[in-house]
Structure formats: structure tokens, C-alpha cells
């Protein structure tokens, strides 16, 4: 996406809506320009009438007009900035909402392929640069351009010869700014990348703090933190240096210009082509023009920063989901909740090879079916395909003879609950974590789900009971307690299909017994597909599939598989030896 397209996109999607406020800010910028120019112009009659001609009649009027001019400038500038700050914050929110909306609705595979730290950096670092472009950039463009035009008018009015000399400064400053602007775009992109690395490091540092302590890697992580911070520091230093580099250039140019003007003005005054009052009014206008010229010279830097950031954010916002509803998709009609895999082929990436190979499975409605196999055999992938976290490459998956690819994703997932070994909880209260499955659930329904999942046993022992905050990812709860809350949440959803992904593999025997009881309640008369490493989880299964390298290598009940499946027998023997 080139700069022109980025500009058009930012205008169409984010700026156009606020054109009234922007035009009003431009109006106040006109007042700023007019009042600034009038300050320089007023010095001419002030010096001529009051100091040279000693005319006392203007002694009050001119100072009063100067006060009015400065007041108008100050108030107008304040109002223009306030309006653009409001616009900028609205645009910032819209950008973040659009990006978060994309991320929240993004395909699972899209999220898995990019580290969360990168997204966080886009939401914080990049958005600020775009906001700066759309607020300060727009305001400075109009305010400083109009002010410069007004001051140049005053300068030409006083003496056109001096004015021609003075305006040489503008193209020289612009050339320097363009060069620095290109450099700024490159450095800003590099800084954003380093910011993303640092954010990624911080996310992982907080998530894995126990691992850091048990392996005593505090010193190692401190060294890594220092490296990331140092890299970001160096890039930010470059940004700061590039920004301030315009200052000495402008100071030198202004110094040379004033020296030349004083020299030439001296000759004009000596030859009576220029009066003293004209010179001081001209000099004041030129000195006042220094600020807008300097500001406009750095505008190119702001633009390049903003466009570089937009070039990183807009592709994220524009990401299209591959997993979406088919045309004329209908809501699913659940009868028995029979699930049928027909010649299903799946691969995460074409280069990685096939994970599932012409897989045929049948999960009987209202019954429990187990998946057994070595790690990496494809069991979790089978579960992920049913709610369409991923889509198959070939074949079909049907629920009650309805292809899941011809029904709405919303109705499909509404009929599925997932309980995983890696329980996901929010940094919120126990009640809200259970209620997440059904935000309209009554307290009575929440308490019932907690009781049936045996969660109430530990909840009622807590000082704040259901209002207890459980910390990030439920850090204040044990694994079994988190698992029971996850089951309560699934119960509250009342789904026809239950997916259990190794839900009891890391629990002690006493906790497992309680969770097994809770799972019996959860899965009663439900189509249940369970992955388990523990034999106790699958003994009562109606059917067991043995999966190996993405293929079915055996199926049947426990006793049948012991007799005919070597893989299952090995699995069983290892369980017995534990």
C-alpha cells in the first residue's frame, strides 16, 4: 500500500467523519495566522508614530491592539488544539476498536501465527504515530501554512527586496526536512519492531515467571531484558536525534539570513530606500515566521512516522478471515448430534504435510467416544475441526447429516462446549468466569452449575465466595479448582456436543474422582468426544478410536481393542504400570 492509498484510506475511514471539527479548527488557525501577522504589522506604526514622531494619540490604542492580537492568537490556538485533541482521541479509539475487532474475530490460525506482543505494539506504539499524524499533522499544516502566508504578506508589504532574500530559507529548510523525513520513516519502522520484541518478551516473562524462578534464570532474563531495552533505546535515540537535527539546521540558516538582512537593510536605510520602522516590522515578521517554517519543516517527519505506522496497522485491520459462513448458510438443526468425518484431509500449512489423512470417524449422538494415540497423532486436531477453529482441506464433517461448512458458524459453536487441560480463565470473579458461557444466566443457574461441578465445595470456603477475584489465568486457584470452574461454565452453556481435551490428565486421584463425577453429569446424554491419557477416563466409552499419524488404526470398545490393537494395548499397559 503506497502513501497516497494510505492517505485516502485514513481520510475515508477515520478523518472524514470529523471534517466539521477539523474545519472549525482550521477557522481558528486562520485567526491565529491573522493575529500573528497583525503583531508584526503593528510594530511599524508603533515605532514610527510613538517613538520617531512621538505621537501620544496612539500610545494607548497600539498597545491595546497588541494585547487583542496576542489574546486572539492564544485563545484561537487553544481552541484549535482542543478540537484536534478530541478528534485525535476519537480517531485513536476507532483505530484500536477496528484492530481489536479484527483480532477478536480472527481465525485461530491467524492468531497462532503472530505473537501477541506484536499486536500489543501495533495497538500502542503505532496508533500513537497515526494519531499524531491526523491531529498535530493536520493542525500544523493549516495553522503554520496560513501563519507563514500572513507573515510573508507583511514582509512583502514592508519591503519586497528583503522578502525575496528571506524566502530563500523556506526551500532550503524543506529540502533538509524531506531528507530527514525519509530517514525518520525507516527508523520508526525499526523502533516499532524493537518495541514489539520488548512487548513479546514482557508477555512471556510474566506468563512464565515460575519457570524462571525454578530454573534460576533471573540473571539470564535480566540480561535479555537489558538487550531488548538497549535495542529499543538505540532506535528511540535515533528518532530523537533525527527530530532535533532540524534545529541546528534552522538556527544556522536563520542566523545567516538575519546577518545578510541586517547588512542589506543597512545599505537600504543609508540610501533612504527603507525606514527604520519598516525594518523592525519586517524583522519581527521574519522572526515570527521562524516558528511556522520550523514546524512545517518537521511536518514531513510526522507524516512519515504516521504513514509508516499506518502501513503496519491497516493490513492487520484488513485481514480477512478464511473461516467464514458460506453463502446462504443456515442455522444447524440438532436432532441426535451424530458427528461424521468423511475422508477428511487436514494440514496446518501445505509445507508441513498432512496431519489428517482421509480420516473417517463416526461419533454417535448422545454417547461418549474416546480418541487414543501418541502425542502428535492428530487427536487435538480432530477436536479443533468440529467447531471450525480450523477448516479441513478435503472431505466433509457432518452433524446430523448437515455439513458444518453449510451452516452458520454461530449456530454450530452455540451447540459445542470445550473443556481443555489448559483451562482458560479471566482475571475476574469466579461468578463472572462461570457466567461467561451465558451472560444472561441467573444466579440460581450459576450456583446450580457450580454445585454440579463440585466447584461450590471450594468456592464457599473463600472469604468473598463467588465474588472472589482469581487473578490472571486463575493464578490463585489450583489446577483442579480451575478445571471444575471450566466444567461449570460448560454446564451453563447446555450444549449438545461436549469436547474434552485431556481434561483430567494432570490431576491428583482425589480431585480426578470429583471431576470425573462432574464430567458424568456434564456429558450425560450428550455427544461427547474425549481425549485422555488416563485409562479411567475412557473405560466407559461407547467407542474408542486409536489414532496414529493422522489415521484410524483401530476402533471398538476397551476389551476389543486390548485384543486386536497393539498400540492400544501398549497404551493400556503403560497406564497399569503407573
Q: What does the pLDDT read at residue 576?
A: 62
Q: How far apart are CA 9 and CA 13, in angstroms?
A: 6
pLDDT (0 to 100) of residue 400: 92
Query: How far is residue 2's CA from residue 183's CA, in Å, rounded to a whole number?
Result: 17
Q: What structural domains and CATH numbers belong to the chain?
A: 88-317 (1.20.1560.10), 326-415+534-578 (3.40.50.300)
Q: Rounded mean pLDDT of 187-208?
A: 71
Report the percentage of the chain scoring pLDDT > 90. 8
Mean pLDDT of the chain: 80
Cell of 149: 502566508
Helix, strand, coil share of the chain (percent; to 5): 65, 10, 20
**pLDDT band, very low/low/confident/very high, at 396 (cuts 50, 70, 90):** very high
Q: In this structure, what are the phi and psi dihedrals at residue 252, rounded to the nearest 5 degrees?
A: -65, -45
pLDDT at 349: 76
Read off the pLDDT of residues 310-323 as tens digits, 9 standing for 90 and up: 888 888 888 887 88
- Lowest mean pLDDT across 296-305, 394-403, 474-483: 296-305
Block residue for cell numbers 540473571 = 219
Is residue 354 left, alpha or beta, with left meaning phi > 0 and alpha meaning psi from -120 to 50? beta
Q: What is the pLDDT of residue 425?
A: 83
Q: Cell match 478435503: residue?
A: 394
> For residue 58, what is its C-alpha cell?
496612539
Give the pLDDT band of residue 114 (cuts 50, 70, 90). low
pLDDT over 70 (residue 66): yes
pLDDT band at 210 (very low <50, low <70, confident <90, very high): low
- By three-state DSSP, how is residue 111 classified? helix
Q: Which among 576, 566, 526 has a CA at the least distance from the CA of 546?
A: 566
Mean pLDDT of 358-362: 91
Which stretch of DSSP H or E encloses residue 368?
strand 368-372
How large is the angle between the packed helices 509-523 and 479-493, nearest 10 degrees? 0
Written as nine digits, the cell of 464 is 468473598
Q: What is the pLDDT of residue 397?
A: 93
Q: Which residue has the higher pLDDT, 271 or 301?
A: 271
Lowest mean pLDDT among 178-187, 375-384, 538-547: 178-187
pLDDT at position 117: 65
Q: Please enumerate in sequence order all residues whose Cβ is within 8 A of that of 21, keeping only pairs 6 or more positions apart, or say none.
A: 83, 84, 86, 87
Q: For cell 506482543, name the residue.
A: 117
pLDDT at 339: 93
| pTM (global) more than 0.85 | no
Residue 408's pLDDT band (boundaries 50, 70, 90)? very high
How many angstroms separate the Cα of 115 from the Cα of each of 71, 85, 118, 193?
A: 51, 32, 6, 12
Tens of pLDDT, residues 448-502: 888 888 888 888 888 888 898 888 777 788 878 888 888 888 888 888 998 888 6
Tell me the mean pLDDT in the region 328-348.
90
Amino acid at each position: 500500500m503506497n502513501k497516497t492509498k494510505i492517505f485516502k484510506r485514513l481520510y475515508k475511514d477515520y478523518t472524514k467523519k470529523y471534517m466539521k471539527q477539523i474545519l472549525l479548527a482550521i477557522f481558528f488557525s486562520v485567526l491565529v495566522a491573522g493575529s500573528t501577522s497583525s503583531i508584526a504589522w503593528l510594530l511599524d506604526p508603533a515605532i514610527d508614530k510613538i517613538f520617531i514622531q512621538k505621537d501620544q494619540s496612539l500610545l494607548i490604542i497600539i498597545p491595546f491592539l497588541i494585547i487583542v492580537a496576542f489574546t486572539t492568537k492564544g485563545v484561537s490556538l487553544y481552541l484549535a488544539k482542543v478540537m484536534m485533541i478530541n478528534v485525535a482521541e476519537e480517531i485513536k479509539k476507532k483505530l484500536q476498536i477496528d484492530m481489536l475487532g479484527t483480532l477478536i474475530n480472527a481465525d485461530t490460525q491467524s492468531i497462532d501465527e503472530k505473537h501477541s506482543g506484536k499486536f500489543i505494539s501495533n495497538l500502542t506504539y503505532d496508533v500513537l504515530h497515526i494519531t499524531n499524524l491526523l491531529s498535530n499533522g493536520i493542525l500544523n499544516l493549516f495553522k503554520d501554512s496560513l501563519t507563514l502566508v500572513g507573515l510573508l504578506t507583511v514582509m512583502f508589504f514592508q519591503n519586497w527586496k528583503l522578502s525575496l532574500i528571506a524566502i530563500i530559507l523556506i526551500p532550503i529548510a524543506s529540502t533538509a526536512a524531506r531528507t530527514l523525513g525519509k530517514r525518520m520513516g525507516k527508523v520508526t519502522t525499526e523502533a516499532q519492531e524493537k518495541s514489539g520484541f520488548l512487548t513479546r518478551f514482557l508477555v512471556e516473562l510474566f506468563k512464565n515467571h515460575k519457570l524462571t524462578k525454578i530454573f534460576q534464570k533471573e540473571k539470564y532474563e535480566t540480561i535479555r531484558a537489558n538487550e531488548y531495552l538497549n535495542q529499543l533505546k538505540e532506535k528511540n535515540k535515533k528518532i530523537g536525534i533525527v527530530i532535533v537535527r532540524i534545529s541546528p539546521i534552522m538556527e544556522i540558516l536563520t542566523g545567516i539570513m538575519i546577518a545578510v538582512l541586517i547588512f542589506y537593510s543597512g545599505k537600504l536605510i543609508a540610501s533612504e530606500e527603507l525606514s527604520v520602522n519598516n525594518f523592525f516590522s519586517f524583522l519581527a515578521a521574519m522572526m515570527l515566521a521562524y516558528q511556522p517554517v520550523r514546524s512545517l519543516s518537521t511536518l514531513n517527519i510526522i507524516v512519515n512516522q504516521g504513514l509508516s505506522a499506518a502501513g503496519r496497522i491497516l493490513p492487520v485491520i484488513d485481514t480477512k478471515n478464511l473461516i467464514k459462513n458460506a453463502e446462504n448458510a443456515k442455522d444447524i438443526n440438532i436432532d441426535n448430534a451424530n458427528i461424521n468425518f468423511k475422508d477428511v484431509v487436514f494440514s496446518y500449512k501445505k509445507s508441513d504435510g498432512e496431519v489428517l489423512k482421509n480420516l473417517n470417524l463416526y461419533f454417535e449422538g448422545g454417547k461418549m467416544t474416546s480418541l487414543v494415540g501418541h502425542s502428535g497423532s492428530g487427536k487435538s486436531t480432530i477436536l479443533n475441526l468440529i467447531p471450525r477453529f480450523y477448516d479441513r482441506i478435503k472431505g466433509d464433517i457432518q452433524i446430523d447429516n448437515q455439513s458444518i461448512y453449510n451452516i452458520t458458524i454461530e449456530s454450530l459453536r452455540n451447540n459445542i462446549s470445550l473443556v481443555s487441560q489448559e483451562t482458560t480463565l479471566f482475571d475476574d470473579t469466579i461468578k463472572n468466569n462461570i457466567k461467561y458461557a451465558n451472560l444472561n444466566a441467573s444466579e440460581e443457574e450459576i450456583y446450580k452449575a457450580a454445585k454440579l461441578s463440585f466447584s461450590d465445595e471450594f468456592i464457599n470456603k473463600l472469604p468473598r465466595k463467588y465474588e472472589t477475584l482469581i487473578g490472571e489465568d486463575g493464578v490463585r486457584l489450583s489446577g483442579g479448582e480451575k478445571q471444575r470452574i471450566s466444567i461449570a461454565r460448560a454446564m451453563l452453556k447446555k450444549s449438545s456436543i461436549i469436547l474434552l481435551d485431556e481434561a483430567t490428565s494432570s490431576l491428583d486421584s482425589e480431585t480426578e474422582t470429583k471431576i470425573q463425577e462432574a464430567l458424568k453429569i456434564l456429558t450425560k446424554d450428550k455427544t461427547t468426544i474425549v481425549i485422555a491419557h488416563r485409562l479411567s477416563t475412557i473405560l466407559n466409552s461407547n467407542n474408542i478410536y486409536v489414532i496414529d499419524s493422522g489415521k484410524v488404526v483401530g476402533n471398538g470398545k476397551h476389551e476389543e481393542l486390548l485384543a486386536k490393537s497393539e498400540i492400544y494395548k501398549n497404551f493400556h499397559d503403560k497406564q497399569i504400570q503407573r
